[in-house]
Amino acid sequence: MSTLYEKIGGEAAVEAAVDVFYRKVLSDDRISHYFDTVDMDTQRAKQKAFLTYAFGGPANYSGKAMRAAHAKMKLSEGDFNAVMENLGGTLKELGVPDELIAEAAAIASSVKNDVLNK
């Protein structure tokens, strides 16, 4: 039995996905303004940690840290959905099968309440 992380392709898959994903997010007019003033190198590293987590990989993502990181941003349901869409689009573009995309989306969705500060 291999894990989702192994099936998707492990660290190499994350490395391949992170720039595709981050470029999508930065080009998405619905949410790109949240990234106008952040340091891009730092943010890319954070996106990589997020993708590792969504791919079921070894990332220690605590709800408390996610909450603290997003608390002041006042994000909406729409913002969260935009990120999810970009995640799905990234995986599709990289040829990941639909059932694995669904698994990754389910993991990513689990942080929703923390990100939206609910």
| Percentages of the chain per state (helix, strand, coil), in multiples of 5 | 75, 0, 25
57 binding another protein? (CB under 8 A): yes
Among 39, 77, 93, 98, binds another protein (CB under 8 A): 39
Q: What is the torsional sign of CA 17, 27, 101, 70?
A: positive
CA distance 49 to 66: 12
- Shortest Å distance, C-beta 23 to another protein: 6
> Taking contact as CB under 8 A, which single stretch among the options 47-55, 79-87, 96-104, 106-114 is the one that binds another protein?
47-55
Among 8, 21, 28, 52, binds another protein (CB under 8 A): 52
- The b/e string for 60-85 (b: 16+ C-beta within 10 A; e otherwise) is ebeeeebbeebeeeebeeebbebbbb
| DSSP category for residue 36 | S
49 binding another protein? (CB under 8 A): yes
Among 3, 6, 45, 106, binds another protein (CB under 8 A): 45
29 binding another protein? (CB under 8 A): no
Element (H or E) spanning 46, and its range?
A: helix 40-54
Contact footprint for another protein (CB under 8 A): 14-15, 19, 23, 26-27, 36-42, 44-46, 48-49, 52-53, 57-61, 65, 69
